Structure 1
């Protein structure tokens, strides 16, 4: 029996002029960690509060400026975690924390309660949009689904009016990748019109590859089509949230950025529900390989290179070149590496880049003095 015939090909997108295919990378997108929400949902035993706090601190140390921390209206643990971060003063002033919330009033109110006291938050609203969700699960018409989204927008606007911190608004047509494009456009434009973003206070439109059922080029076509058909485009940041069901999440994210996306939501090493999320580490290093610095996620490359007694002369020379722009003469590389090994063995640990620089400069002084 040919069981593959039960599947139908994913529909393609008609673009009058496909532009993304002729573009190349120039800057990295905005990076958003969803480890504490998407990644946590993937665990058989979700993290407790102490584990989530430790993870949050690590994400801040990595340099993330946008972190989706929880789904606080879903459980008491998630709610309490938000309160611990805020009441404990663990959120740096330059970090925006975000949460996911369905377009249901009690969930929205509860989410604002969870984030009370934060200086800058991201309220990420979503509601079902795919045809099977509309027809089978919610049994609502397209018009009723749009009305549901707008109810959520109005509720967030009302709650934001009394919130003391800054509120960034994000909207996701849930299961965007399984939603008819014209309906995704219609509901997104209705939300944009209701929120009324400006160039100074932009909103985020997140277009998730919720279930990766298409090839990366078709996903890119979807993003370009939406980018060309939403209203008030200059006041909207297009974000993508690729999953990895086909194993193509990284490629989908890269092509989506070429197609107009300005922001990528993902997790470290791709951990996430089902087949996982886009792996931000792989994606970031792919950009690095095209000449764009991981510093865009707040990380110095020199911080990730480690030198110890097992390192060769190439690694030591690379540190001096990459971090300090010093081309070490080949005749000096072995001598420097030997001194680094000696110091590492005597200490029993790693040697920092500053120490390697000191060894190099000391040897240069000796050479000059002996001339």
Structure 2
């Protein structure tokens, strides 16, 4: 690959910062989130949102708790202009939600933008932008540093003239391509805007510093943000904002480090939609905070409903491995992961019991799951799924959660071999229903040699009537040792079964399952029986073992 064509940009974007403070900082509170899905995200769609989709998206973001929402680019299209007007005429925005509108630094477009928010009683932010980086100045704008600075100030004066007397309107400036702009120049331009707009603590100016195109590692962006944070004039009258894109795939890291470096506000899209590789993903940022014990101040408790709305509005699917919201992000196929998760869930339940608290009240400490899926409205049904990469832990977990079957460990190991053969043959994922069918076919087949005709308990004895090779036979065995006693009696019919262990447990439907470990013809095997009582379940396990004693008659087929 022709890597020599690309110069190292680090030296171009580095800032004169030596004793940086951001590496030692910690995020202890959520920044102000500003979703730009209706503007920046909408511009990046092959089919921009129609009015119905824009309204549904806006109402979703209000319901999630966003307090500042960028709603459009009113000078770019009639659709955007009309939607901004609709917010006011239809009363779509609660009083505590600030509406942001976006405009280039050009008077006619500013006039159109100001007209779109006429009559809005909510707080409004007019967001003006101009590219400031050298390549953009030279190639796109064809202006010098001084000329671009004057262009920005002229547009700032236009905004003051057209909207400066409205108490509910504040101002935002973005030096587009901030991360490639000379530090001294961008500082000069930003300071000139806070002076022009007379930024005060009561009416602060938003300075938004975008990583319009990611060109360096996140630590470089953090240095740039900290440099601005420490050197801006009127700092107490500035809301320092960032708008990272994701060209290098590190937009989330850039935003997190920028907050450590002094940013107070983050612009992005709910699931990271945006030009090229997208804007920063607010869901990931917010739930990263949640996973660290910090309230994200945005409600993702029904993340699948949010995803469905976003997918409808954007006509774009959310990938299965997308952090926190993807279909498979809480799912383990790997055997080692499944075993750890299974044990983690069991320990979590036990800890809740010991503390006499609900499982939702105690600290979350389950391997491989950074947050409880229930926090975002997910059930545990798909946490473990079985394929050819899975092991006994995942198999046992599915059988327990779906069918209340607690397989003994040695049976788990034995059954895992059967499942492995099945998945190798089919190459497909195995559902819980397929696992149950395979389990019963392997360890509890319908018997052709021995059938239980009747059973009743009388005076600590189990009275059985069995059909053994076509001959009805009555047996009386102790209720306390039904498996051992029946196995001994069946030796008379030529069935060699030595009981090694019997494990039984009740099921929620009132039935009992018995797991029988036995030896026959020198081999250790397993059988399973189901019954209304512990005794009849053990008898059923012995009957299954007797049937399995002639294995060639019982090929396992669950296809």
- The TM tier, using the shorter chain, reads 0.7 to 0.9
Q: CA offsets, 1:320-369, max 9 Å, x none? A: 444x6799xxxxxxxxxxxxx9xxxxxxxxxxxxxxxxxxxxxxxxxxxx
Please give the alpha-carbon distance, in whole angstroms, between the structure 2 residues aligned to 1:39 and 1:145: 27
2:8 matched to 1:9?
yes
Please give the alpha-carbon distance, in whole angstroms, between the structure 2 residues aligned to 1:84 and 1:30: 25
Which structure 2 residues correspond to residues 215-226 of structure 1 after superposition, within 5 A?
Answer: 215-226=217-228
Segments of 5+ residues of structure 2 without an aligned counterpart are 306-341, 365-401, 403-559
Which structure 2 residues correspond to residues 1-371 of structure 1 after superposition, within 5 A?
Answer: 3-10=2-9, 11=11, 12-119=14-121, 120-163=123-166, 166-294=168-296, 296-297=297-298, 299=299, 301=301, 320-322=358-360
Please give the alpha-carbon distance, in whole angstroms, between the structure 1 residues aligned to 2:155 and 2:358: 54
Q: CA offsets, 1:175-232, max 9 Å, x none? A: 1112111111111111111111111111100000000111100000000011112111
Once the 2 structures are TM-superposed, how far is the Cα of residue 22 of structure 1 from its aligned partner? 1.1
Larger Rg: 2
Please give the alpha-carbon distance, in whole angstroms, between the structure 2 residues aligned to 1:64 and 1:270: 16
SS at match of 2:110: helix
Q: 1:304 to 1:145 in 2, by over 3 A?
A: closer
Please give the alpha-carbon distance, in whole angstroms, between the structure 1 residues aligned to 2:114 and 2:127: 11
Please give the alpha-carbon distance, in whole angstroms, between the structure 1 residues aligned to 2:115 and 2:285: 35
Other-structure match for 1:351: none
Contact 2:29/2:295 (8 A) holds in 1: no
For structure 1, which segment, 13-22 or 61-70, has the greater mean C-alpha deviation from structure 2 after superposition? 13-22
TM-score, normalised by the number of residues in structure 2: 0.54
Please give the alpha-carbon distance, in whole angstroms, between the structure 1 residues aligned to 2:97 and 2:7: 43
For structure 1, which segment, 216-225 or 283-292, has the greater mean C-alpha deviation from structure 2 after superposition? 283-292
Q: 1:223 to 1:139 in 2, by over 3 A?
A: same
Segments of 5+ residues of structure 1 without an aligned counterpart are 307-311, 328-340, 342-371
Please give the alpha-carbon distance, in whole angstroms, between the structure 2 residues aligned to 1:305 and 1:3: 43
Contact 1:25/1:290 (8 A) holds in 2: no
Once the 2 structures are TM-superposed, how far is the Cα of residue 305 of structure 1 from its aligned partner? 9.8
Structure with the larger helix share: 1
Q: CA RMSD in A?
A: 2.6
Contact 1:126/1:171 (8 A) holds in 2: yes
TM-score, normalised by the number of residues in structure 1: 0.80
Contact 2:127/2:173 (8 A) holds in 1: yes
Once the 2 structures are TM-superposed, how far is the Cα of residue 161 of structure 1 from its aligned partner? 3.6
Other-structure match for 1:309: none
Contact 2:128/2:172 (8 A) holds in 1: yes
Aligned residues between the structures: 318
Relative contact order, higher structure (CA 8 A, sep 6+): 1
Q: CA offsets, 1:295-336, max 9 Å, x none? A: x22x275x6699xxxxx9x699799444x6799xxxxxxxxx
Contact 1:320/1:326 (8 A) holds in 2: no
Once the 2 structures are TM-superposed, how far is the Cα of residue 152 of structure 1 from its aligned partner? 1.3
Please give the alpha-carbon distance, in whole angstroms, between the structure 2 residues aligned to 1:300 and 1:5: 45
